[in-house]
């Protein structure tokens, strides 16, 4: 269990790594509170972006200057018109030694990567079945249903039996890292010999995750080609969301892969590059974090994710005991967040409002919880979430890498807030109200002097909004 002192030492190392990427490092003191960590880190990110813009003032969407290769930390770029032919040289994001990555295509976001791949696949794998795990990312499903008309969506409910070959059509498995843990593990026990391609969305796994290696090993034993698609905005930028960046990495399973499989990957790469060019989805060089690739970066990222996973497991166990009637999905394969569901049904706007009020109330009493539609920050984050398995809207609690005792305090406060809200919940379909929310009314900015919600010790340590 990491103490506050050890946490601040680790964050000081993260800040030093960022600061060292500046040509003129800022004068920073070692942080003494969580809020100071957050402020210093985002200040450094802004300075890095500003320095990049000032240094490369002559670089435009068309590279007319031609005075050498554009750089961002360890990455080098070359391109001609509108970055349609963007070439990237630099360290791989993935820390998977035995993966034979033949090529990586970078895009302007994770959705741009999977969109270009799927739309480009229409010329390579027409009329295919797209097998989708329970709980897969909602926007990926929407993309397939609305725009990838050559793919027939096959939703898997019982993964072990439903991966059996379906007659007459090529078969692609969308292996999503945001699937529930049970579905993820069940899939890896399947034979899956009838699959022609695996598209593995790794966004929610650390790039050095053992789960990525397990999926690649599973595919290798069956000689199935794999494309790893990813949004790098979340786990790969030390909690900064440094810039929108996505990628697709093409992997040949092993030397025994069939000629057909190798040709499939070659054709997919060609068609995806054309799709990126035609849809304008090329990556921005300014969005590549300049601190990636060093030994310190890998070590600090691994420690961040390990702490998130540890805190998340504790949160799942606590919510299962404290909120047995409200827990939605607590055990995702990635372990980055949990979801809670009110006893009544609600729409997207109502779920969003609960997330806003929950984070607002706890944030005003000094707890590091914010309303943010992502995860991997240095603070906990709440947002609405569509549970595609049960087809209902829930609230997502994204777990940060805070000191475990502090995050335990936040989880307990969330449970108390949630229980109070459930007791006073309105009828089904009505807008939610919070007569017993954790801040006083009408002056909602006044902090609550309640030791059950936020200890005075935390407030004295400066963990305040």
User: pLDDT at position 194, please?
Assistant: 83
Confidence at residue 344, expressed as pLDDT on a 0 to 100 scale = 87
Task: With a cut of 80, say whether residue 456 has pLDDT above it.
Answer: no
Q: Would you state the pLDDT for residue 101? A: 61
pTM of the model: 0.88
Residues 353 and 394 reside in one and the same domain:
yes
**If you average pLDDT over residues 410-425, what whole number do you get?**
89
Instruction: Supply 446's token pair.
Output: 């006044």
CATH number at residue 256: 3.40.640.10
Task: Say whether both 78 and 168 belong to one domain.
Answer: yes
pLDDT score at 165: 52
My answer on whether 313 and 225 are in the same domain is no
Shared domain check, 311 and 279: no
199 and 328 housed in the same domain: no
Residues 235 and 109 placed together within one structural domain of the fold: yes
CA–CA distance from 368 to each of 34, 46, 311, 404, 414 (Å)? 8, 21, 14, 13, 12
Query: Are residue 136 and residue 93 in the same domain, yes or no?
Result: yes
Q: Which domain holds residue 411?
A: 298-460
Structural domain includes residue 107: yes
Same domain, 272 and 304: no
For residue 400, being part of any structural domain is answered with yes
Structural domains counted in the chain: 3
Q: Is residue 115 part of a domain?
A: yes
Are both 122 and 204 inside the same structural domain?
A: yes
Please state the three-class secondary structure of the chain as a single string: CCCHHHHHHHHHHHHHHHHCCCCCCCCCCCCCCHHHHHHHHHHHHHHHHHHHHHHCCCCCCECCCCCCCEEECCEEEECCECCCCCEEECCCCCCCCCCCEEEEEEECCHHHHHHHHHHHHHHCCCCEEEEECCCCCHHHHHHHHHCCCCEEEEECCCHHHHCCCCCCCCEEEEEECCCEHHHHHHHCCCCCCCCCEEEEECCCCCCCCHHHHHHHHHHHHCCCCEEEEEECCCCCCCCCCCCCCEEEEEECCCCCCCHHHHHHHHHHHHHHHHHHHHHCCECCHHHCCCCCCCHHHHHHHHHHHHHHHHHHHHHHHHHHHHCCCCECCCCECCCCEEEECCCCCCCHHHHHHHHHHHHHHHHHCCCCEEECCCCCCCCEEEEEEEECCCCEEEEEEECCCCCHHHHHHHHHHHHHHHHHHHHCCCCCCCCCCCCCCCCCCCCCCCCCCCCCCCCHHHHHCCCCC
Q: Domain for residue 37, yes or no?
A: yes
Looking at the structure, tell me whether residues 234 and 338 fall in a common domain: no
Is residue 454 scored above 90 in pLDDT? no
Instruction: Provide the CATH number for the domain around residue 322.
Output: 3.90.1150
- Let me know if residue 60 belongs to a domain: no
- List pLDDT tens digits, range 203-229: 999 999 999 999 999 998 888 999 999
Task: Identify whether 65 is part of a domain.
Answer: no
The stretch 180-196 carries a mean pLDDT of 88
Q: Give the tens place of pLDDT for each residue, 149-175.
A: 999 999 887 554 556 555 678 999 999
pLDDT of 312 reads 97
Please check whether residues 110 and 19 belong to one and the same domain. Answer: no
């Amino acid at each position: 269990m990491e103490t506050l002192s050890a946490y601040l030492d680790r964050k000081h190392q993260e800040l030093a790594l960022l600061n060292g990427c500046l040509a003129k490092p800022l004068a920073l003191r070692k942080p003494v509170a969580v809020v100071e960590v957050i402020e210093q880190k985002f200040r450094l990110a802004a300075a890095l972006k500003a320095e990049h813009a000032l240094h490369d003032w002559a670089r435009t969407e068309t590279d007319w200057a031609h005075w050498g290769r554009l750089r961002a930390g360890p990455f080098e770029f070359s391109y001609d018109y509108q970055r349609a032919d963007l070439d990237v040289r630099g360290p791989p994001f993935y820390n998977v030694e035995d993966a034979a990555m033949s090529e990586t295509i970078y895009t302007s976001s994770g959705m741009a990567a999977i969109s270009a791949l799927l739309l480009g696949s229409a010329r390579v794998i027409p009329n295919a079945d797209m097998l989708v795990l329970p709980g897969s990312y909602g926007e990926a499903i929407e993309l397939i249903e609305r725009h990838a008309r050559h793919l027939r969506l096959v939703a898997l409910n019982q993964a072990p039996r439903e991966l059996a070959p379906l007659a007459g059509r090529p078969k692609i498995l969308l292996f999503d890292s945001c699937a529930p843990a049970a579905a993820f593990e069940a899939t890896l026990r399947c034979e899956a010999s009838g699959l022609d391609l695996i598209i593995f969305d790794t966004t929610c796994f650390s790039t050095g995750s053992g789960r990525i290696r397990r999926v690649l090993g599973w595919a290798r034993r069956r000689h199935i080609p794999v494309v790893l698609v990813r949004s790098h905005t979340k786990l790969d930028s030390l909690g900064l969301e440094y810039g929108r960046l996505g990628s697709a990495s093409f992997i040949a399973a092993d030397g025994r892969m069939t000629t057909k499989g190798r040709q499939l990957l070659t054709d997919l790469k060609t068609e995806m590059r054309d799709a990126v060019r035609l849809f304008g989805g090329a990556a921005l060089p300014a969005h590549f974090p300049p601190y990636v690739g060093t030994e310190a970066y890998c070590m600090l990222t691994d420690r961040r994710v390990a702490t998130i996973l540890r805190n998340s497991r504790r949160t799942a166990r606590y919510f299962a005991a404290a909120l047995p009637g409200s827990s939605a999905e607590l055990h995702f394969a990635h372990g980055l967040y949990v979801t809670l569901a009110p006893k009544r049904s609600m729409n997207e706007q109502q779920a969003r409002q609960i997330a806003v009020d929950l984070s607002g109330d706890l944030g005003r009493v000094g707890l590091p919880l914010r309303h943010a539609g992502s995860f991997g920050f240095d603070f906990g984050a709440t947002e609405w979430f569509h549970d595609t398995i049960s087809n209902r809207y829930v609230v997502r609690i994204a777990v940060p890498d805070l000191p475990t005792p502090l995050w335990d305090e936040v989880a307990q406060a969330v449970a108390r807030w949630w229980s109070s809200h459930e007791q006073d919940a309105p009828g089904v379909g009505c807008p939610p109200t919070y007569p017993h929310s954790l801040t006083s009314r009408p002056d909602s900015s006044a902090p609550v002097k309640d030791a059950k919600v936020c200890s005075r010790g935390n407030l004295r340590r400066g963990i305040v909004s």
